[in-house]
Amino acid sequence: GIPDPPDALRPTDVPGSIHPSAPPAQSTADVNTDPAARDVIIVGAGIAGLRAAQTLQQHGRRVLVLEGRNRIGGRIWTDESTGMPLDLGASWIHGTQGNPIATIADQLNATLIATTYDDVQRFDPTGNPLTNNLNDRIDALLERSFARARAHAEEQNSDISLQAALEAVLDQEPLDAHDLRLLNYAINTVFEHEYAADSSQLSMRHFDHQKELNGGDAIFGRGYRVIIDFLAHNLDIRSGHIVQRVAYADDGVTVVTAHGALRAHAALITVPLGVLQRGGIVFDPPLPSSKQRAIERMGMGLLNKCYLIFPEVFWGNTTLLGYVGERKGEWAEWLNLNTLLGIPVLLGFNAATFARTIEAQSDASIIQSAMRTLRIIYGTDIPQPVDYRMTRWAADPFASGSYSFLATGAAPNDYDTLAQPVGKRLFFAGEHTHRDYPATVHGAYLSGERAANEMLSTNDA
Ligand SMILES: Cc1cc2nc3c(=O)[nH]c(=O)nc-3n(C[C@H](O)[C@H](O)[C@H](O)COP(=O)(O)OP(=O)(O)OC[C@H]3O[C@@H](n4cnc5c(N)ncnc54)[C@H](O)[C@@H]3O)c2cc1C
């Protein structure tokens, strides 16, 4: 028999089950004669899985999507329980030009709000706004140190981390404590937040290899979930179905959940890299060692969000607030949702090690820590938040992190290895399988489309 999943693997985040679980499916019959058998079982109802399912269904394939959580969307998750659409996963369309997500948003008449990262006000450790000179100095320090670090890394025989390269450069040309703090702030907000990893983890050779779309970035006025709802329309999705095991052979696949085993011609695995890394699904036979090694080499980063909802707005109008504090990465970046959405909400971001440390604490102490920073900037008489929403993406067993990055020693080729089908029946998609646009919604979406086309071009699936 199949043992019950441990408690940690039970679905936890439950803002309403969108697609209630169907009755247990028992079929283990032959895939060719069993009328209940599907052409394709897709594991994961994130954007990659949903786009693949939609594409396959449009081509007449019988598709079943199995989702472990009691909600769909994966790392796209709009929480509306406060009455405001708060995106706990992805917020931005990164580059609206030629972006399939922007195309769907346009079709749906969804409100998009353009954002710019230049509109930022920064504060020093005592809460004073930085002068223009100091703001310029941050940019200059970053530009110079980064260019020299890159040059240094290129002279090495093997890959080193961004931090190791920076330290080598700073050894030759030391900065005083003040400049070092400015540089650390820039490294944190420019690189560590974007790649969700410490500079000591990022591959200096490759970490920023990905391509970027033009057209500027935008967020959704009513939340990212419009995209998910559109893609999920008319699909057969079973939520609360945690896939434990996938057996594959030349004649089909068997996908096992606590509800039973299901047969299909082929399976598409879209679970996050973090889930693959911790062996969240057992593959039978085990995945080829080339794929296993790529899974291990690649990094799974962490970016957490903390929404603080206030009774009134006590901050200014700039889109972003920066805190250039003494401790690198500590509540260094805030998004002003009053300016963007007209709601009295500040969104704090934390990445990598600081995010991991914070994640382990109670909600109350996380809020206390955030408020300490805001009080330094805005004074001790600012109001307490009336409500909040915060994420713990590392502890979430259906994500085990936020998104993939190229760790020291990994290379862009690893994305291709993760994308490769295994045999004729087992396929892979997800943000971590898109070489050009990893760690994004559009990359995940395009990876689902690619996997669906791979399946359609083999006669069996
Ligand atoms: C905090 C945060 C901020 C982000 N910001 C942005 C942004 O602004 N712009 C942007 O473009 N991207 C952003 N991203 C990245 C983007 O959200 C992801 O790249 C994208 O949503 C990934 O989609 P996916 O389908 O590959 O994976 P997922 O959405 O994670 O889908 C995988 C699905 O598999 C399910 N699953 C896992 N294990 C099992 C199992 N054993 N059985 C069954 N189902 C299982 C999961 O529950 C999930 O629904 C952000 C991500 C995070 C976490």
Residues in contact with ligand 1 by the CB-under-6-Å rule are 43-49, 66-69, 74-76, 89-92, 94, 242-243, 270-272, 275, 280-281, 303, 305, 391, 393, 398-399, 402-403, 430-431, 439-441, 444
In this prediction, residue 35 has a pLDDT band, given cuts at 50, 70 and 90, of low
Question: Phi/psi of residue 259, each to 5°?
Answer: -85, -5
Cα 91 to ligand 1 centroid, rounded to whole Å: 12
Q: Which of 252, 369, 251 is nearest to 308 (CA)?
A: 369
Q: What atom in ligand 1 is closest to the CA of residue 275? A: 38
Give the mean model confidence (pLDDT) for residues 266-279: 98
**Per-residue model confidence (pLDDT) at position 225:** 97
Residue range 340-386, pLDDT digits in tens: 999 999 999 999 999 999 999 999 999 999 999 999 999 999 999 99
Residues forming a β-bridge with 73 = 46
pLDDT at 17 over 60: no
Residue range 223-271, pLDDT digits in tens: 999 999 999 999 999 999 999 999 999 999 999 999 999 999 999 999 9
Q: Long-range contacts: 310-313, Cβ < 8 Å, 24+? A: 310/344, 310/345, 310/346, 310/382, 310/383, 310/385, 310/386, 311/344, 311/383, 311/386, 312/344, 312/383, 313/338, 313/344
Domain around 411: 7-74+224-299+404-457
**Per-residue model confidence (pLDDT) at position 31:** 73
Residues forming a β-bridge with 220 = 112
In this prediction, residue 5 has a pLDDT band, given cuts at 50, 70 and 90, of very low
Q: What do you get for the CA distance between the two ends of the chain, in Å?
A: 28
Dihedral sign from CA coordinates of 384, 91, 402, 193: negative
The answer to whether position 129 is within a domain reads no
- In a 13 Å sphere around the CA of 49, the CA atoms on its Cβ side amount to 30
Predicted-assembly ipTM surpassing the 0.95 threshold: yes
Mutate which of 10, 14, 50, 75 to test ligand 1's pocket (most atoms within 8 Å of Cβ)? 75
pLDDT at 434 over 50: yes
Determine the Cα angle at 70 with ends 69 and 76, to 5°.
Answer: 65
Give the mean model confidence (pLDDT) for residues 54-66: 97
| CA–CA separation, 430 and 50 (whole Å) | 11
**Per-residue model confidence (pLDDT) at position 461:** 54
**Per-residue model confidence (pLDDT) at position 37:** 78
**Number of folded domains that form the chain:** 1
The answer to whether position 228 is within a domain reads yes
**Per-residue model confidence (pLDDT) at position 23:** 42
The answer to whether position 172 is within a domain reads no
Q: Please tell me whether 243 is known to bind a ligand.
A: yes
| CA–CA separation, 437 and 434 (whole Å) | 6
* Contact status, residue 199 vs residue 163, Cβ threshold 8 Å: yes
pLDDT at 2 over 50: no
The answer to whether position 43 is within a domain reads yes
The residue whose CA is least distant from atom 53 of ligand 1 is 402
**C-beta neighbour count of 62 within 10 angstroms:** 15
The residue whose CA is least distant from atom 43 of ligand 1 is 68
Tokens 């920066």 belong to residue: 322
**Per-residue model confidence (pLDDT) at position 29:** 55
The answer to whether position 342 is within a domain reads no
**C-beta neighbour count of 460 within 10 angstroms:** 13
Cα 262 to ligand 1 centroid, rounded to whole Å: 24
DSSP state of 430: S
What percentage of the chain carries pLDDT values higher than 90? 91
Sequence-separated (6 or more) residues with CB below 8 Å from residue 308: 345, 346, 347, 348, 367, 370, 371, 374, 385, 388
| CA–CA separation, 117 and 335 (whole Å) | 10
Residue range 139-154, pLDDT digits in tens: 999 999 999 999 999 9
Residue range 387-430, pLDDT digits in tens: 999 999 999 999 999 999 999 999 999 999 999 999 999 999 99
Model pTM? 0.94
Residue range 174-204, pLDDT digits in tens: 999 999 999 999 999 999 999 999 999 999 9
* Contact status, residue 222 vs residue 111, Cβ threshold 8 Å: yes
Rounded to the nearest integer, the mean pLDDT of the chain is 93
* Contact status, residue 197 vs residue 352, Cβ threshold 8 Å: yes
**Per-residue model confidence (pLDDT) at position 34:** 72
DSSP state of 46: B
**Per-residue model confidence (pLDDT) at position 459:** 61
| CATH assignment of the domain containing 277 | 3.50.50.60
Q: Is 305 exposed, middle or buried (0-12, 13-18, 19+ CB in 10 A)?
A: buried
Structural tokens at position 127: 């809460």
Cα 386 to ligand 1 centroid, rounded to whole Å: 29
Residue range 70-102, pLDDT digits in tens: 999 999 999 999 999 999 999 999 999 999 999
The answer to whether position 152 is within a domain reads no
Determine the Cα angle at 157 with ends 154 and 159, to 5°.
Answer: 70
Residue 222 identity (one-letter amino acid):
R
The residue whose CA is least distant from atom 4 of ligand 1 is 90
The answer to whether position 374 is within a domain reads no
* Contact status, residue 355 vs residue 302, Cβ threshold 8 Å: yes
DSSP state of 433: G
Cα 211 to ligand 1 centroid, rounded to whole Å: 19
The answer to whether position 328 is within a domain reads no
pLDDT at 18 over 50: no
* Contact status, residue 425 vs residue 252, Cβ threshold 8 Å: yes
What percentage of the chain carries pLDDT values higher than 70? 92
